[in-house]
Amino acid sequence: MSLYLGIDIGGSSFKYGWGNSEGLRHFDSIPIKHKTMEHFMQQASTLLSIVDDRVSLQHIKAIGIGSPGTIDSISGRTCGVNPNLPFWINYRPSDIIPSFVKTPVFCDNDANLMALAEANHHGCRHLLGITVGSGIGGGLVLGGELYHGSNGYAGEFGHQCVERDGLKCNCGRNGCLEAYSSVDGLRRSLAKHDSKYLSMELSELLNVNDSIVIEAIMKAHSLLVTSIVNIVTVLDLECIVLGGGAMDAGLYQVSEIEQDVNTHLPEANKGKVRVLKAYHGNQAGVMGAILLAEKGIS
């Protein structure tokens, strides 16, 4: 049995695990306490020592790494703005692996890997994966393969413009979907009415019986649905998968999104698009990284 190691770089931990396309055999995480390259490399060495003790690195055929942020397809380096890991720009994700490790390493954006893992699980060839949390990520699988676009920037679902000159987004532009429909975006759009909303947890916001909050969530839902409808119309997708902390907390209901999406789709697409909750949860990035590694050497 071939084993592959998947590492998912996050803002507060490295999630990792080993397995293959048939499933994850082990899943764990180690914390990120300092947001520096030196600490990243220390934690990656610790992680590899654990893997070596448990299954021996010699038995790992390839390593997949999922990274937040955009990865330029020419340079292989992270680029743009990375709000959760501001220092993590202009690095190759594989830079965290010590040079003495000779195992092949493959890297991709974490939301892309979520989409790959979900496409594999649901048996979809044309899928958009969306993660809703403090931001909004997206990844596209077209024809069974990850779609990167001409520079590697494809799939940035949260940064499509839904309101020109609208609210400021984490990416520096104005009017992105993320600025309205992510948890941070929702808080900031509510803060236009009252700054008290900025410090409220999502669970508190979902439990207040407050017309301002209810209207903001309805607008956020509506913009999310419109964005999905537009992408399905352009790409004739088969499946939309929604995951991330805000979906788990109940900010949006998958069944309502599916109903609204189908209401607004062109006649030809109606009833042909499945909208599903992500299956892999917080293990999606690791599972996708394992699949990336397995595809990489096959």
Q: Which residues bind Zn ion (CB under 5 A)?
A: 159, 169, 171, 176
In the structure encoding, which two tokens stand for residue 273, read together? 């698009």
**Residue number with CB closer to Zn ion (173 or 295):** 173
Looking at the DSSP bridge assignments, the partners of residue 64 are 6, 106
Task: Give the nearer residue to Zn ion in terms of CB position, either 101 or 161.
Answer: 161
Distance CA 134, CA 184 (A): 5
Measured from the CB atom, the residue of 16 and 180 that comes closer to Zn ion is 180
Q: Report whether 103 contacts 2 (CB < 8 A).
A: no
User: How near is the Cβ of 40 to Zn ion at its closest, in Å?
Assistant: 25
Q: Which helix (H) or strand (E) holds 105?
A: strand 105-109
Nearer to Zn ion, 105 or 169 (CB): 169
Q: How far is the CB of 263 from Zn ion (least distance, A)?
A: 27
The least distance separating Zn ion from the CB of residue 135, rounded to whole angstroms, comes to 8
| 250 touches 264 (CB < 8 A) | no
**Considering the complex, what minimum distance in angstroms separates the CB of residue 223 from Zn ion?**
13
CB closer to Zn ion out of 52 and 72: 72
Cα 285 to Cα 5, 9, 158: the distances in Å are 12, 9, 18
* C-beta separation of 45 from 34 below 8 A: no
Shortest spacing between CB 73 and Zn ion, in angstroms: 20
